[in-house]
Amino acid sequence: DHHLPVLAMPAVRKYARDHSVDLTQIKGTGRHGQILRSDVDAFLENDGVVD
> At a CB cut-off of 8 Å and minimum separation 6, what does 6 contact?
23, 24, 28, 35
Determine the size of the site formed for another protein (CB under 8 A): 8
Contact segment (CB under 8 A) with another protein among 7-15, 21-29, 39-47 equals 7-15
Q: Of 2, 3, 11, 50, which lies in the binding site for another protein, with binding defined by CB under 8 A?
A: 11
Over the window 14 to 33, marking each residue x when it contacts another protein by CB under 8 A and - when it does not, the resulting string is x----------------x--
Report how far residue 21's alpha carbon sits from residue 23's, in angstroms, rounded to the nearest whole number.
6
